[in-house]
Amino acid sequence: MQLKLSVHFAVVTTVLLLNAKILIAESLKVPYVSISGFQAPLWLGERVGAFKKNQLDVQLVYMPGGSLIVQTLLSGEVGIASLAPPSAISAWTKGAELALVAGGIERALNVLMVSPKIKTPDDLKGKRVAISRFGSLSDVSLRDALRFYKLRPSQDVAIAQIGGLGERMVALTSGVVDAAILNVDQVYQAEKLGYQVLIDLRKLPLNYSTQGIVVSKDFLRNQRNTVKRFLKVYIEGIKILKTDKDLSMETLARYIKTNDREVLSKTYDVYREAWESVPYVRREGVVQALDSMPDVPSKGSKLNLDTLIDNTIIQELEKEGFLKELYPDGYKR
């Protein structure tokens, strides 16, 4: 009898331990590159408890600059990150073992904000323009915009590495620079301070990947299920952003530090329209980003992008019906 009780106790204990192991959330530190609507799906996922629902204990950490985040990925300090893909794409061309596992926004949402004394693109000659870091989205998009208006980057116009969006805004308003690449989140605030949009990059033919989830290939190989659960949260966050304006505006207000309802509403409308429901990495967006990089010798279309783009997890989620659960009335791919 005592032996039977001992065996029963051992079995029950094992089952409880296994269940406990399943319920223990996996801890992840996830850096993100900008305090803007590009990160809204992750903020919203955190807000509604989607990480916990997927057994993830995620610490979202702001890091100013895609190149800095790429370094943390390559060092193994983190395995997954949210950033504008150009920094990761640039590192990949130099041999970095990185993969793009999700996109989300496939066009430029930047603007070139200038002081009132600058009236035309030609007035930028001899002026200083703020970006985050060389090789970043702000750098690539600025160079494309300048070339579109027949200006030579770094020759006609000085490009200054300033840092994140907040730092660039301060540099502009304090006169350290004459212009700055900003996201739409800052545009409406800057306009109220007397600054103006000189070039709206949304109106230029710049259809490259501007938001994505990047992982180290080692992390993807060893913790694929973790990446899959993370992407479920990311996709759910996109759905919330596209369907719940009040919660999205309230969440944006916490991060971009404004309670101006007009600014929040305009910002929300831009991102709601820009985000794709199913965030596949679009090959054409990666190709255009590559073609815009001055230090890449080959055209993007000639490179083997299959070693960079990995849409297989999102494909799995779609086949398993996860997207249909989120969008029972249908969704656009």
Per-residue pLDDT of the chain (333 residues; tens, 9 = 90+): 554 444 444 444 444 444 444 456 789 999 999 899 999 999 999 999 999 999 999 999 999 888 899 999 999 999 999 999 989 999 999 999 999 999 999 888 889 999 999 999 999 999 999 998 888 888 888 999 999 999 999 999 999 999 888 899 999 999 999 999 998 888 888 888 999 999 999 888 878 888 999 999 999 999 999 999 999 999 999 999 999 999 999 999 999 888 989 889 999 999 999 999 999 999 998 988 888 877 776 666 678 999 999 999 999 999 999 999 999 998 876
Q: What pLDDT does 296 receive?
A: 73
Question: Do 247 and 154 reside in the same domain of the chain?
Answer: no
The model's pTM is 0.85
Question: Do 101 and 223 reside in the same domain of the chain?
Answer: yes
- What are the φ and ψ backbone dihedral angles of 61, each rounded to 5 degrees? -125, 125
Task: Give the C-alpha distances (Å, rounded to integers) separating 317 from 42, 91, 122, 283.
Answer: 18, 28, 49, 19
Query: Amino acid identity of 166?
Result: G
Question: Do 161 and 32 reside in the same domain of the chain?
Answer: no
Six-digit token string for 38: 């590009």
User: By residue range, what is the domain housing residue 60?
Assistant: 24-107+208-326
User: Which residue, among 226, 217, 229, 230, has the nearest Cα to 76 in the 3D structure?
Assistant: 217
- Number of domains within the chain: 2
Q: What pLDDT does 300 receive?
A: 65
How far is residue 2's CA from residue 299's CA, in Å, rounded to a whole number?
75
How far is residue 143's CA from residue 160's CA, in Å, rounded to a whole number?
12
Please state, as a whole number, how many other Cβ atoms lie within 10 Å of the Cβ of residue 312.
13
User: Angle, to 10 degrees, between the axis of helix 137-148 and the axis of helix 85-93?
Assistant: 90
Question: Do 54 and 182 reside in the same domain of the chain?
Answer: no
Euclidean distance between the first and final Cα of the chain, in Å? 62
User: Which residue, among 123, 86, 270, 113, has the nearest Cα to 181 in the 3D structure?
Assistant: 113
Question: Do 213 and 322 reside in the same domain of the chain?
Answer: yes
**Residue 8 lies inside a defined structural domain of this protein:** no
Six-digit token string for 224: 């694929």
**Residue 5 lies inside a defined structural domain of this protein:** no
Question: Do 125 and 101 reside in the same domain of the chain?
Answer: no
Contact residues for 259 (Cβ-Cβ < 8 A; gap 6+):
253
Last residue of a domain, one of 185, 203, 221: 203
User: Which residue, among 185, 70, 218, 65, has the nearest Cα to 130 in the 3D structure?
Assistant: 65
Q: What pLDDT does 10 receive?
A: 47
Query: Amino acid identity of 288?
Result: Q
Last residue of a domain, one of 146, 180, 203: 203
Question: Do 133 and 220 reside in the same domain of the chain?
Answer: no
- What are the φ and ψ backbone dihedral angles of 305, each rounded to 5 degrees? -75, -10
DSSP 163-211: -SHHHHHHHHHTTSSSEEEEEHHHHHHHHHTT-EEEEEGGGSS-----E
Pairing mode, strands 128-131 and 158-161: parallel
Strand, coil or helix: what is 98? strand
How far is residue 44's CA from residue 233's CA, in Å, rounded to a whole number?
9
Question: Do 102 and 213 reside in the same domain of the chain?
Answer: yes
User: Which residue, among 98, 86, 75, has the nearest Cα to 214 in the 3D structure?
Assistant: 98
Q: What is the CATH number for 155? A: 3.40.190.10
Last residue of a domain, one of 160, 179, 203: 203
Question: Do 121 and 158 reside in the same domain of the chain?
Answer: yes
Question: Do 144 and 90 reside in the same domain of the chain?
Answer: no
User: Which residue, among 53, 55, 54, 30, has the nearest Cα to 43 in the 3D structure?
Assistant: 30
Six-digit token string for 166: 């907040």
